[in-house]
């Protein structure tokens, strides 16, 4: 299950995630992002420290937002101090893709 | 000159001849493709264990049945839709929390690898199921689906290309599974695919992590334990 908390609204949005982010739970994040309106978001900061599990599909969702935001000079920024989450981010090379 | 009344037979014979020729080409093409597939399979069966130090093996359905027939799984969980991904993880998590004292310390990579395999079933096939076993070294998962089989031509890219590619997600899930399991066996045919994920409670990954925490990274590559005699005779539906 995924809990999505909007810490800061548009244009520089900060979202905190808790629980698990995967193909089965990603719709909660998608719904929040749609409610905020992706067109009005410049930078999207996502805090992953509260996540228990993230898999490649969950990471792919964040990369998808980054691709959309980067077309208008925005980006996705990742905040994380969770060692296990950091390991999988490193494995997939997501920080290189996001440039963070 | 009067043509025989059966004059129409000649163009018909020509058309039939042409159709037979096309049919022959099609059959020959099928034979060639099947022969190429078998060749590819034989090559992969030989090279995959070598290039992955025994961590990835390609096995035939007969080998899968022979290796895993007879043993009853601890859990059988059906997989069909997206919601099943967290459900499978949660079921396995709760189950092993009662069985394995230090489960909390090792659960994350094991559940992530399982999540990747189940995601593949949901993304690419009509459905399948997860069979859960416990070996002396750690949990073993069989993720079976009734899809049309893996595209073997994509296998090298999945094994060699690590991480997320700019153009596709191909390989990212495989990278994670490879990293977080001790050994993977792939059994794929036109009737479906079975992935055997063998995890280790004292895996190199966990030892490496503890080593890093203690200030010295361990470099270890223990022999993969070959488990046999588990599983059940499974026929894809």
Contact B86 A1 (CB under 8 A): yes
- Two structure tokens written together for A28: 């909660």
- In B, minimum Cα distance to A83 occurs at B209
Domain chopping of chain B, boundaries: 10-51, 54-213
A 29-48 residues inside an 8 A Cβ radius of B: none
pLDDT of res. B166: 47
Cα separation values, B48 from B25, B57, B72, B159, Å? 33, 6, 29, 9
Asked if B180 and B205 touch (Cβ cutoff 8 Å), the reply is: yes
- In A, minimum Cα distance to B83 occurs at A24
* Mutation choice for B interface testing from A25, A57, A59 by most B CBs within 10 A: A57
- Contact B188/A at CB under 8 A: no
Residues B66-100 as b/e (b if ≥16 CB within 10 A, e otherwise) read ebbeebebebebebeebebbbbbbeebbebbeeeb
Per-residue pLDDT of A26-57, as tens digits, reads 999 999 999 999 999 999 999 999 999 999 99
Instruction: Give the minimum alpha-carbon distance from B13 to chain A in angstroms, rounded to a whole number.
Output: 57
- Contact B86/A at CB under 8 A: yes
Query: B174: buried, middle or exposed (CB in 10 Å: 19+, 13-18, 0-12)?
Result: buried
- Contact B77/A at CB under 8 A: no
The ipTM (two decimal places) reads 0.92
Instruction: Give the minimum alpha-carbon distance from A41 to chain B in angstroms, rounded to a whole number.
Output: 23
B5: CB partners within 8 A, 6+ apart? none
pLDDT of res. B223: 26
Query: B177: buried, middle or exposed (CB in 10 Å: 19+, 13-18, 0-12)?
Result: buried
Asked if A75 and A43 touch (Cβ cutoff 8 Å), the reply is: yes
Q: Establish how many alpha carbons lie within 13 A of residue A14's alpha carbon, considering only the half-sphere containing its beta carbon.
A: 5
**CA B157, B163, B165: angle at the middle one, nearest 5?**
70
Asked if A32 and A63 touch (Cβ cutoff 8 Å), the reply is: no
Percent residues over pLDDT 70 in chain A: 99
Domain B54-213 has CATH 2.60.40.1930: no
Q: How far apart are the first and last CA of chain B?
A: 65
- Contact B176/A at CB under 8 A: yes
What integer is the mean pLDDT of A76-90? 94
pLDDT of res. B39: 81
Residues A42-58 as b/e (b if ≥16 CB within 10 A, e otherwise) read eebbbbbeebbbbbbbb
Write out chain B residues lying below 8 Å of A97, CB-based.
Answer: 164, 166
Contact B112 A57 (CB under 8 A): no
What integer is the mean pLDDT of A68-88? 94
pLDDT of res. B181: 94
What integer is the mean pLDDT of A72-85? 94
Question: What does the CA dihedral B129, B134, B138, B142 come to, rounded to 10 degrees?
Answer: -20
Q: How far apart are the first and last CA of chain A?
A: 27
| Each residue's pLDDT expressed in tens, for chain B with a length of 237 residues | 555 567 778 888 888 888 888 888 888 877 777 787 778 888 888 888 888 888 999 999 999 999 998 889 999 999 999 999 999 999 999 999 988 888 999 999 999 999 999 999 999 999 999 999 999 889 999 999 999 988 877 777 777 666 555 445 556 888 899 899 999 999 999 899 999 999 988 755 555 555 554 443 322 222 223 333 333 333 333
Contact B112 A55 (CB under 8 A): yes
- Contact A59/B at CB under 8 A: yes
Write out chain B residues lying below 8 Å of A25, CB-based.
Answer: 85-86
- Two structure tokens written together for B98: 């009662």
Whole-number Å distance between alpha carbons of A94 and A79: 12
């Amino acid at each position: 299950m995924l809990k999505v908390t909007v810490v800061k609204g548009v244009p520089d949005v900060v979202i905190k995630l808790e629980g698990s982010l995967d193909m089965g739970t990603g719709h909660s994040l998608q719904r929040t992002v749609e409610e905020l309106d992706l067109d009005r978001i410049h930078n999207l900061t996502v805090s992953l420290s509260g996540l228990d599990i993230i898999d490649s599909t969950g990471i792919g969702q964040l990369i998808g937002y980054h691709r959309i935001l980067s077309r208008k000079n925005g980006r996705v920024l990742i905040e994380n101090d969770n060692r296990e989450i950091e390991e999988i981010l490193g494995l997939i090379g997501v920080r290189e893709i996001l440039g963070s | 000159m009067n043509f025989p009344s059966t004059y129409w037979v000649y163009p018909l014979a020509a058309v039939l001849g042409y159709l037979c020729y096309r049919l022959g080409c099609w059959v020959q093409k099928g034979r060639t493709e099947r022969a190429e597939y078998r060749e590819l399979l034989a090559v992969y069966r030989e090279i995959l264990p070598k290039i992955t130090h025994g961590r990835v093996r390609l096995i035939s359905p007969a080998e899968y049945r022979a290796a895993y027939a007879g043993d009853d799984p601890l859990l059988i969980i059906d997989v069909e839709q997206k919601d099943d991904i967290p459900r499978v993880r949660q079921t396995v998590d709760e189950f092993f929390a009662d069985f394995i004292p230090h489960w909390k310390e090792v659960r994350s990579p094991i559940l992530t690898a399982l999540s990747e395999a189940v995601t593949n079933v949901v993304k690419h096939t009509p459905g399948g199921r997860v069979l859960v076993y416990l070996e002396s070294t750690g949990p073993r998962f069989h993720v079976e689906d009734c899809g049309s089989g893996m595209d073997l031509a994509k296998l090298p890219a999945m094994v060699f290309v690590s991480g997320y590619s700019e153009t596709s997600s191909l390989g990212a899930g495989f990278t994670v599974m490879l990293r977080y399991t001790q050994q993977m066996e792939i059994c794929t045919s036109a009737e479906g695919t079975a992935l055997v994920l063998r995890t280790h409670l004292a895996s190199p990954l966990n030892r490496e992590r503890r080593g890093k925490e203690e200030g010295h990274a361990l470099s270890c590559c223990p022999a993969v334990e070959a488990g046999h005699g588990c599983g059940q005779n499974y026929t894809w539906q």
